[in-house]
């Protein structure tokens, strides 16, 4: 990896977003949803752009070496905020770097705590267990997740 950059989600062509979000390898780790098409992806991007405009939120596309790699967000989750991170399978190795960048954004946005939910299909991560204030199992939209609560002041970036 030579360069990691973040751009507004609406700068990514719809077809690239569709390809990522409809990938069977990626979908295995996401809440079930219908396959995206041009209409539904446009609505999804518009929704994410609205979230990006909210206080304490950020939504970005991730580029690695100028290629679209995925998307990330700090977004509302009930009365809390969560980290969302979706990467194409060829870019799974950059997740920790993106996560650290998102922690820095969270601090800049004034968050004290962020939630990171990983579907139970994902392995347990020693790194997350070490930095989390609490780790618990939860259900979101009929799917089992491991929920990591992270106090940002305790993280050394």
Half-sphere exposure (Cβ direction) of 73: Cα atoms closer than 13 Å:
23
Task: Give 88-102 pLDDT, tens digit per residue.
Answer: 989 988 998 999 999
φ, ψ (nearest 5 deg) of residue 70: 165, -160
Q: What is the mean pLDDT of residues 35-47?
A: 96
- How much is the pTM? 0.90
Task: Give 43-91 pLDDT, tens digit per residue.
Answer: 999 999 999 999 999 999 999 999 999 999 999 988 999 999 999 989 9
pLDDT at 126: 82
Q: Are 156 and 63 in contact (CB under 8 A)?
A: no
Reported as a pLDDT band with limits 50, 70 and 90, residue 27 is: confident
pLDDT at 157: 63
């Amino acid at each position: 990896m030579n360069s990691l950059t973040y751009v507004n989600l609406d700068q990514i062509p719809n077809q690239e977003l569709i390809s990522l979000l409809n990938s069977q390898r990626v979908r295995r780790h996401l809440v079930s949803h219908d396959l995206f098409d041009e209409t539904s992806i446009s609505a999804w991007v518009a929704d994410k752009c609205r979230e990006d405009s909210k206080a304490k939120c950020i939504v970005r596309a991730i580029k690695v070496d100028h290629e679209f790699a995925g998307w990330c967000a700090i977004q509302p989750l009930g009365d809390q905020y969560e980290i969302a991170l979706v990467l194409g399978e060829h870019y799974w190795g950059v997740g920790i770097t993106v996560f650290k960048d998102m922690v820095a954004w969270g601090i800049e946005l004034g968050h004290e705590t962020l939630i990171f939910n990983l579907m139970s299909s994902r392995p347990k991560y020693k790194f997350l267990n070490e930095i989390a204030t609490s780790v618990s199992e939860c259900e979101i939209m009929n799917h089992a997740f491991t929920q990591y609560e992270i106090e940002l002041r305790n993280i050394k970036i």
